[in-house]
Amino acid sequence: MGRIKSALFLFLVFIIYSGTAFGFQEQQPQPRDSNLLTNPQRAVHTFLHWQQAGHKNPDYVIQTMKMAEGDKELKAELASRLLKILDARGLLINYDEIPSNPNYTDSLSGLQQYILFPSLPEIYLTKTAQNEWVFSESTVQSIPELYANTFSSWFTFLVDNLPDWAYNEWFGIMIWQYLAVFIWLLVGLILMKIFVFFLDNYVRRLAEKTKISWDDDLIDGVEKPSAYIFLLTFYFLTYSNLQFSVSISHFLSITLEIALSVTVVWLFYNLSEVFSKYLGVLTSKTETELDNQLIPLIRKTLRFFVIVMGVIAILQNNGYNVASLIAGLGIGGLAVALAARETLANFFGSITIFMDRPFKIGDWIKVGNVEGTVEEVGFRSTRVRTFYNSLVSVPNSNIANTDIDNLGLRKYRRLKTVLNLTYSTTPEQMEAFVEGIKAIVKANKHFRQEMYEVHFNSFGAHSLDVLVYVFFDVPDWSTELQQRHNFLLEVLRLAKEVGVEFAFPTQTLHMDSFHQEEPRKVGEERTEEELASTVYEFGPDGKKGQPDGIRIFRAGEEVDFGAEK
């Protein structure tokens, strides 16, 4: 309510200022002439000038109504009504635009006639056989109908029967007009509330009963703009009843027309959002991801189109020649193209992305130094949500010319690690540990079953090294982390059951005493013959050699969890 009161106050201040500061449809009076109808400009001046307060002359005015049938009083009444129509509709007359050529010919019709306002083609002047410019016969005949369309009959009856004090002026405006403005604004707001009530309690309830959801989005999108369209349409259709001077009426006409156009643009802007949501519902049912990526572009294109067309319509309705304006932009077209070459490069980069489809929304990608999840692909840039939750906008031209590592398209996710066991591990424990890891891989459906490697790989500086090379078959990074967690826990439990320990870098310092005659013996003593025999036994056909590895058995059956080839 505070905003409404402020708006009412500012509106009344403007009306007061307009009533005192703005002039009537009158410029400097032209010199009087024996013939006041020699050209269109003189005829319009005669019609307007001699109806203004201070120098009214009905005898001059009715000369412009020679085509009307009836006496002087009827012609004067028609002239008075026509002036009220022009003033109430805010139709300002610019004398400089009216031709002063006595032989003026309309370029479209080829007739000697002049239309005062393109928005009101019923009102025009025509040249008579006596070489006089007067209002045409059709104009004179249409005045009663135009008057009825401009002013409400019951409101006119009410104004004509007001007490005398209501016609007193304050700052150039009658008291009844102040009261009418207040009632006019109040009635408009009440009607808008009724309109919103109807939408919320009838239309919205019908939409809630349906199984589809887009009609609810439609009601949400159109409720506010349609309410203001209803309000402004009421004001636009009824402001002429206030019977203000032409300057105030002109201001009201322009303001209401622009405001109404803006709310219509607002309505279509919201409808484009509803349409985009509806397309999103349809594309979510398809298997391809390309249409999902197109939705943000379609939404932005529709928004841009609605705004541009709205601006063009507003300019066109307010007398601007949009065609010449657009043509004038061609003069600086080259400079604009040079300045916007990066924008154009990004635009074509976006086309390349949609044609090649190197990634889709939700993919984990790495482009240059940027790594994260794709959130949106626009005309100018692609937005990537990094893993520290920042949002990076990468120009599409850079993406089109850069190597893209799409980690989201990986079918399998590799895990390569080396497990370090202590040197106290026996060969049998080592074999059991390696086969146990293979068994863990086999038991987990989230591993790639036909490709994995687990082997005793090397003797390290401080440990016996087991290479683990496996692949997770998971859809995303979060699932990969969970399965890696599960796998390493299983390995830890396996190590405990087998009895092996994990090594870590250590240094062992041996404290020994020095013997005077013999050094301390390390290891077991073997004769040369025994050593040579051991070498042969580990060689070809040796009894101790196991070139295919140690095998462990359970109930007489070999334990082997090798990968399926």
**pLDDT tens profile 73-130:** 898 888 888 888 888 888 888 888 888 888 999 888 888 999 988 888 888 999 988 8
Nearest to 373 by CA among 388, 355, 381, 361: 361
Nearest 5°: the CA angle 204, 207, 213 is 120
* Most confident residue range from 27-31, 106-110, 505-509, 526-530: 106-110
**CA distances, 563 to each of 243, 435, 440 (Å):** 94, 11, 12
Say if pTM beats, i.e. exceeds, 0.85: no
- pLDDT one-digit tens code per residue, 139-179: 989 988 988 888 888 877 787 777 878 778 787 778 888 88
Q: What is the pLDDT of residue 27?
A: 42
Q: What is the mean pLDDT of residues 240-246?
A: 83
- Residue 96 burial (CB count, 10 A): 7
Buried b (16+ CB within 10 A) or exposed e, 337-350: eeeeeeeebbbebb
Q: Which amino acid is at 461?
A: A
Ramachandran bin of 562, using left for φ above 0, alpha for ψ from -120 to 50, beta for the remaining angles:
beta
Encode 282-312: b = buried (16+ Cβ within 10 Å), e = exposed: ebeeeeeeebbbebbbbbbebeeebeeebee
Q: What is the mean pLDDT of residues 475-491?
A: 87
Percentage of the residues of the chain whose pLDDT score is greater than 70: 76
C-alpha–C-alpha distance, residues 390 and 384, integer Å: 8
pLDDT digits (tens, 9 = 90+) for 7-60: 544 555 454 444 444 434 444 444 454 568 888 889 888 888 888 877 788 888
Q: Output the pLDDT for position 336.
A: 54
C-alpha 125/C-alpha 146 separation (Å) is 16
Which amino acid does the sequence have at 34?
A: S
Order of strands across the sheet with 370-377?
391-395, 381-386, 370-377, 364-367, 404-406
Confidence at residue 509, expressed as pLDDT on a 0 to 100 scale: 67
Q: Above 60 in pLDDT, residue 338?
A: no
d(CA 127, CA 101): 11
Q: Predicted confidence band at 334 (pLDDT cuts at 50, 70, 90)?
A: low
Place of tokens 């006409």: 253
Q: Which of the two residues, 121 and 520, has the higher pLDDT score?
A: 121
Distance CA 517, CA 443 (A): 60
pLDDT in tens, 399-414: 777 788 887 777 888 9
**pLDDT recorded at residue 20:** 42
Query: What phi, psi does 556 have (nearest 5°)?
Result: 80, 0
Query: Which of the residue ranges 27-31, 276-280, 470-474, 521-525 has the most confident prediction, judged by mean pLDDT?
Result: 470-474
Record the tokens describing residue 411, joined without a space.
């079918």
| Whole-number average pLDDT of the chain | 78
Share of the chain above pLDDT 90, in %: 8
Number of C-alpha atoms within 13 angstroms, CB side, residue 114?
24
Enclosing H/E stretch for 413: strand 413-421
Greater model confidence, 444 or 20: 444
Checking if the pLDDT of 328 tops 70, the result is: no
Q: pLDDT band for 470, please (50, 70, 90 cuts).
A: very high
For the record, the structure tokens of 108 come out as 């479209």
Within 10 Å of residue 55's Cβ, how many Cβ atoms? 11
pLDDT at 420: 93
Query: Does 226 score more than 60 pLDDT?
Result: yes
Distance CA 485, CA 480 (A): 8
- H helical segments located in 384-500: 396-400, 427-443, 477-498
Q: Report the distance separating Cα 317 and Cα 250, nearest Å.
A: 14
Rounded to the nearest 5 degrees, what angle is found at the Cα of 525, between the Cα atoms of 520 and 526?
Answer: 155
Q: What is the pLDDT of residues 284-301, one digit of tens each?
A: 666 655 556 667 777 777
The pLDDT of residue 471 is above 70:
yes
Q: Higher-confidence residue: 213 or 181? A: 181
pLDDT band, very low/low/confident/very high, at 500 (cuts 50, 70, 90): confident
More confident residue, 510 or 301: 301
Residue 458: the pLDDT is: 93
